Structure 1
Amino acid sequence: MKELNERHLDPAIALAALDEAAPREPHRQFALKHEDCFVVADGHGDINGKGDGLFRNDTRVLSSFRLFVGGRRPSLLGASLSQDNIMFTANLTNLQLTMADGRQTPQGVVHIERTRFLWQDRMFERIAFSNYSGHDILIPLRLDFGADFRDMFEVRGTARSRRGRSHEAEVDAHSVSFCYDGLDDVSRQSVISFSRPADLIEPDHAEFLFEVARRGHETLFVEVGAEFAPPDRDRFRAAAARARFAMRSKRRHGATVHSSGRVFNDWLIRARADIALLTTELRTGPYPYAGIPWFSTAFGRDGVISALQMLWLTPGLARGVLAFLAEHQSTETSPFSDSEPGKIMHETRKGEMAVLRELPFGRYYGGVDTTPLYIYLASSYADRTGDMDFVDQMWPSLCAAAKWMEEAGARNGDDFVTYKRAAETGLSNQGWKDSADAIFHANGRIPAGPIALVEVQGYVFAAYKGLASLAERRGEDKRAEHWQAMAEKIRVAVESRFWMEEQGYYALAIDGEGAQCAVRTSNAGHLLYVGLPSPERAERVATQLLAASLNTGWGIRTLADDEMPFNPMSYHNGSIWPHDTAICAAGLSRYEERASVVKLMSGMFEAAVQFQMRLPELFCGFTRAPGEAPVAYPVACLPQAWSAGSAFMLMQACLGIRIDGWTGEICVERPQLPIGIDNLSIRHIGVGDAKVDIIFERLGDRVVCYLDHRHEGLAPLIVRS
């Protein structure tokens, strides 16, 4: 089988396949999601059969859905998502129509509004016509549709040697039913239902003729689900109300941020709504799915980082992530799934190809950083909440994860946690930069494994430190001493083996032969995030992260622009990932580079404005120029959980805020406000049993903060200037 790359196929193949396998201009696509169902369509509301579609459990159950009026595609007036991400609306108007009696209806007199949402694995749509002409008109509507039942990985471009059986569509006046019997012995159905009988209906299209009086209105309701249901106005309204109520409930969890900047608030509201949209309520609690369309599932690394970004505001998200990952922790060794006892899951999938083990991603463990990040999240959650009862429940899982880290480090004799895929079907690179060309030597040569990534050793350092602190609180002094010693051992080893004195920077990785991958990347910023470097070295790293070779003005590049493989249009070798910039910013803040953090947040906010208030998974790493917008990456996910969460990690880094769950204190150190923001409030932030409002205000060249008098319970506020 051809080598797969989970985040992205080979770059040349992926870009060449855009027309066939992926939506073009993803920042102009519109996505809706509910639980394990999502839809991606263009501004018209059309599904064109490329990388778009209606997906349910990693299978595309609607591959085509296009609207025509008078045999022509209407003119697009505008398209938008509601602020809560529930409703998509496309506003369209007619091109010139010729009636049966020869009369001409001019362009732009019929308003067509498509309103769509998802609820409980069903797509609901209302198509409303309003006649603004001076006479009654007949409006011929045609809907083209199809269901190919392709697995998500097929949609992304993976070829299969054989597929299951697709049945002939079943047609009646009100519906068309599609059915596919998979090779996994699962029968999948998709039924398109209409609120009125079609004037003509075929397996691939339906035609309706609407007589609309002058200044009159007509409406067609459509539903797409696994079974037939008679669409009508009442069903549409009732389902919409339930969807909106459920989203409101999600968005009420945790604290909210509000500022004096109207446009800045729009960004924060959209980012929070995107986190809520991607968060799925699993049996173990809330879990932020990674992103739409390619990664609308539970990823270990993405879930942990998203939870870390939101931890100061919404610690319940971290608890849900930890509970899910603990339940799916590996207990066996399997080269196919890259699993070993104690290892934390990288990804899970529900599609036909995963079930048949054509791919290893049904439950896949090929992520070298997920296990230490999991431990770090657990200790960070405990520090944020003081929730030792949950830590006690998690303790066997955390100890198993720590055992895997120690055993993985002992294999090479240097305690570095390395990766080398166990089977050819797995990922060749297993850090967050997991494309096949993302790890290399300074001359561009791909290194031999096993590979030790610099940021992974930082996560391991933080995991051991966190475990030592928790063990001490549990009275397990020997374990605490052991893990503290392991953390120090890793710190010394990283400083010794990864540091490049001439460059004043940390190497990207150490290969299987012990040689440095001596290139300057954003990965070193993750070391700052966990506090591993000495202050002197951190200052040198910070200087380079903020220099023009890495800092574009929009954000931090993944690779310095003077390194050999640099390409601002690549996936990992010169692009900008918002979550990566946010982690680097949090690291800079830790080493008191607060003013630089403010500038990075400003760049990210201004990029978000250009992307209609949504930061994509990544965008191209071109240097910012006056009057020019950031350049979109052609197959980026949008929305993406850790891109949305980056707004709040950047905010925390600016404000210098930390909540101590053990003492019940709010600690604020040298706070800064984003550029252009004069006051900002954090409302209903939980501190133990208390809920408080914190106000930040700019007074001259200083930022002051205080507790609002309206709060529930008491929480001390400690401010250091």
Structure 2
Amino acid sequence: MSTDAVSILDGNTFVVSDNRGDINATPTDTSGLFASDTRFLSTWNLTVDGQRLNSLSVDHLEYFASRFFLVPGTGTVYVDAKLSVIRQRAVGDGFREQLTILNHSEEPVTLTVRIDAAADFADLFEVKNATAKKGKHYTRVDKRQLLLGYARETFVRETLISTDGDVQVDDSGLTFVVRIQPHEDWKTELRVEAIGALRRGAAPPHRPGTPTAATKSRRRGEAENAEARMSRNLDAWLTKAPKLDCDNDDLRVTYRRSLVDLAALRFSPLVAGDYSLPAAGLPWFMTMFGRDSIFTSLQALPFAPELARTTLRALADWQGAVVDDFRDEDPGRILHEMRYGETAAFEEQPHSPYYGTADATQLFVVLLDEYERWTGDLALARQLEPEARAALNWIDEYADLRGNGYVYYERRNEQTGLENQCWKDSWDSISFKDGRLPGFPRATCELQGYAYDAKVRAARLARIAWKDPAFADRLEAEAAALKRRFNRDFWVADGQYFALALDADGNQVDALSSNIGHLLWSGIVDKSKAKAVARHLMSDRLFSGWGVRTLAKGEQRYNPIGYHVGTVWPFDNSFIAWGLRRYGFHDEAARIAAGILDAAVFFDGRLPEAFGGYERSLTRYPVQYPTACSPQAWSTGAPLLFLRTMLGLEPSGDNLVIDPALPDNAGHIALYDIPGRWGQRDAFARRRSLRG
């Protein structure tokens, strides 16, 4: 997306336009109206008397609505305009746009107002890969409606554009001829419906035909009710969340931005009914991702525990059941990604769903236990016992590709499957210090930490929820053995850190990376080695001053603006800080929290997916990564986890333990009405000096 792009979204429906409200999508950009992985509008241009308009400002009303203030004219010199135009747009199963033109002159004006519209119905994967459509496009015109359609066998997607005003409709848009008296205005309302997109509780799709008065009234009511419903829903979401009081205005802005963006990213797949889980991020990942949804749910547990409940239920419903090489599916495996577009429907991509992730399965068990620890919801822990056991079986039965007790990955779908199936899933993210790429299969270090944590946590659930102490004993013994092996086989003795991975022959892939922070979070690190790990994380090679880099300076593939080889990821840092807290490195965790939260100020409180890994001393602001998703769910969740880490919030039985450790510039922080098995609890903290 361009830097002046304007986005509004609601669940899996979003609109990306320029700052005039216009859409002019190219085959490879993400402008347009998207729903369920399909672009339902690729052109949406407003002209007045044949001229495009200039933007004065954009008012971001809510995550689902924006208002554009425009004037006619071209060139760089502003001349007092006699007309102004306001476009107010709200998304929801398409979008509704109210168009207002104001005549500021002393004479009446007659204007030709034109909306050019087109839909390429591109699948998101087609946008990414610039591939051509294989079906047929069609249009149907009625007095006040334009239907744009696409069909390929039984796969049909349609965009219905309608208005209540006097209009001339043709195959490529709508034309209004209007006369506006002096100091008066003209208004009309345009509705764009995405027919064929997944929607919850929607009426049957409308077909072309002259709308009756009752139909027009119903549609207007549905649109207004949808906008009012979203507004009420956001108010309820914010009211329900814990209240933050602090001395730092920037932290308050970031906290509210995180809550609002998390609300915007809530997604309700059909299996979730009326409940929602976090979609991964705009623009590419507005759907269910196993890893991303789990990590975000973990971050948000003290603030919105219901996200974790829905995530667990939805992922359990789609848990792998068979061995399917096309989808990299195994029994017990948790999905990586679910898609609803054309390429998935015709199995040109395996994402219906795709299971090529080597960490979501362990993390599913971790989330189930952490959710029960936080909420006391034993009923869900019991309900999902079969799925949790199947996930644990996957670790031993299907993930141990080398028979040495470690979780490895290697794609079985050579054409479209992911090479790297850890969270750093770009092609060059796993390397030796000298830059060589290891062969497959690969066993990255954090996968073993997640497996260890899953077994320890499942042992607790086996005792308190599943009433199977023998199984608990077995899991604890397996976890202890894994920890011993791991601290022997992954430890780079001459560098005093853990290797990024083992290759197929068991050799250490010895690059120094941020993954070692996830090992602290999982608890797999021997206490005798933890101090060395923390020292590396806070060294100049990894810690930029803004946050921990994904790959250390000095490694051959290090690049401060490389996707997984030197950038700083807020999500990554939030779990590193949590891990440092777990091992008692309170001040180090606070420094990381302070760095990332300072960076958030330069992004207006909305942390992007990643930003540059340059030293903080080189620039007064964090350097933007050009194609970072924003908002992205686990970046949105990062400030929430930092708040939990700084306040030292940990459930202990039916109580909430509060053990704050704030950075020097934090001042006073209070978090009120923290939900959990204890009901609601308040947490207070004041700054203290960092220990040397």
Q: Within 2, Cα distance between the matches of 1:130 and 1:599?
A: 53
1:601-621 CA-partner distances (Å, limit 9, x unpaired): 232223222223211122222
Instruction: Report the AA paired with residue 88 of structure 1.
Output: S
Report matched runs for 1:319-338 at 5 Å: 319-338=309-328
2:661 aligned to which of 640, 663, 672: 672
SS class of match (2:361): helix
SS class of match (1:363): coil
Q: CA deviation at 1:53?
A: 1.1
Matched, 1:178 2:133: no
Partner of 1:468: 459
Structure 2 CA distance for partners of 1:263 and 1:411, relative to 1, 3 Å: closer
Partner of 1:696: 685
Asked if the contact 2:369/2:458 (under 8 Å) is kept, the reply is: yes
1:343-400 CA-partner distances (Å, limit 9, x unpaired): 1111111111101111111111110001001111111111112222211111111111
Instruction: Report the AA paired with residue 326 of structure 1.
Output: A
SS class of match (2:117): strand
Structure 2 CA distance for partners of 1:138 and 1:592, relative to 1, 3 Å: farther
Matched, 1:605 2:603: no
Instruction: Report the AA paired with residue 194 of structure 1.
Output: T
Count of equivalent residues: 662
Structure 2 CA distance for partners of 1:43 and 1:554, relative to 1, 3 Å: farther
Partner of 2:37: 58
Report matched runs for 1:358-397 at 5 Å: 358-397=348-387
Matched, 1:143 2:123: no
Report matched runs for 1:86-235 at 5 Å: 86-95=64-73, 106-119=79-92, 121-157=93-129, 159=131, 163-167=134-138, 169-183=139-153, 185-198=154-167, 200-225=168-193, 226=195, 227=206, 230=216
Q: Within 2, Cα distance between the matches of 1:347 and 1:684?
A: 34
1:685 aligned to which of 655, 661, 674: 674
SS class of match (2:403): coil
TM-score by length of 2: 0.91
1:400 aligned to which of 390, 398, 416: 390
Structure 2 CA distance for partners of 1:632 and 1:42, relative to 1, 3 Å: farther
Partner of 1:553: 545
TM-score by length of 1: 0.87
Matched, 1:73 2:49: no
Q: Within 2, Cα distance between the matches of 1:629 and 1:702?
A: 24
Instruction: Report the AA paired with residue 81 of structure 1.
Output: H
Instruction: Report the AA paired with residue 682 of structure 1.
Output: L
Q: Within 1, Cα distance between the matches of 2:119 and 2:243?
A: 41
For structure 1, which segment, 621-630 or 403-412, has the greater mean C-alpha deviation from structure 2 after superposition? 621-630
Q: Within 2, Cα distance between the matches of 1:609 and 1:91?
A: 26
Partner of 1:706: none
SS class of match (1:468): helix
Q: CA deviation at 1:641?
A: 0.6
Asked if the contact 1:66/1:144 (under 8 Å) is kept, the reply is: yes
Asked if the contact 2:446/2:518 (under 8 Å) is kept, the reply is: yes
Partner of 1:277: 264
Q: Within 1, Cα distance between the matches of 2:599 and 2:164?
A: 42
Report matched runs for 1:261-660 at 5 Å: 261-282=248-269, 283-284=271-272, 285-408=275-398, 410-424=400-414, 425-473=416-464, 474-625=466-617, 628-660=620-652
Q: CA deviation at 1:70?
A: 4.0
Aligned CA RMSD, in angstroms, stands at: 2.4
Asked if the contact 1:24/1:635 (under 8 Å) is kept, the reply is: no
Structure 2 CA distance for partners of 1:202 and 1:675, relative to 1, 3 Å: farther
Q: Within 2, Cα distance between the matches of 1:492 and 1:374?
A: 24
Q: CA deviation at 1:316?
A: 1.6
Q: Within 2, Cα distance between the matches of 1:208 and 1:56?
A: 28
Q: Within 2, Cα distance between the matches of 1:602 and 1:71?
A: 52
Give unmatched runs, 5+ long, in structure 2.
196-205, 209-214
1:696-715 CA-partner distances (Å, limit 9, x unpaired): 345x7599xxxxxxxxxxxx
For structure 1, which segment, 462-471 or 585-594, has the greater mean C-alpha deviation from structure 2 after superposition? 585-594
For structure 1, which segment, 386-395 or 212-221, has the greater mean C-alpha deviation from structure 2 after superposition? 212-221
1:609-661 CA-partner distances (Å, limit 9, x unpaired): 2223211122222222466432222222211110100011111111111123x
Asked if the contact 1:93/1:107 (under 8 Å) is kept, the reply is: no
1:469-505 CA-partner distances (Å, limit 9, x unpaired): 1112243221111111111111112211111122221
Asked if the contact 2:399/2:409 (under 8 Å) is kept, the reply is: no
Structure 2 CA distance for partners of 1:163 and 1:600, relative to 1, 3 Å: same
For structure 1, which segment, 208-217 or 269-278, has the greater mean C-alpha deviation from structure 2 after superposition? 208-217
SS class of match (1:466): helix
Q: CA deviation at 1:571?
A: 1.5
Asked if the contact 1:588/1:594 (under 8 Å) is kept, the reply is: yes
Q: CA deviation at 1:278?
A: 0.8
Asked if the contact 1:142/1:208 (under 8 Å) is kept, the reply is: yes
Q: Within 2, Cα distance between the matches of 1:534 and 1:179?
A: 60
Asked if the contact 2:246/2:668 (under 8 Å) is kept, the reply is: yes
Q: Within 2, Cα distance between the matches of 1:236 and 1:353?
A: 30
Asked if the contact 1:256/1:313 (under 8 Å) is kept, the reply is: no
Instruction: Report the AA paired with residue 342 of structure 2.
Output: E
Give unmatched runs, 5+ long, in structure 1.
1-22, 98-104, 704-721
Instruction: Report the AA paired with residue 458 of structure 2.
Output: L
Q: CA deviation at 1:407?
A: 1.3
Q: Within 1, Cα distance between the matches of 2:654 and 2:87?
A: 50
Q: Within 2, Cα distance between the matches of 1:145 and 1:587?
A: 51
1:672-704 CA-partner distances (Å, limit 9, x unpaired): 345544333322222326223333345x7599x
Structure 2 CA distance for partners of 1:209 and 1:549, relative to 1, 3 Å: farther
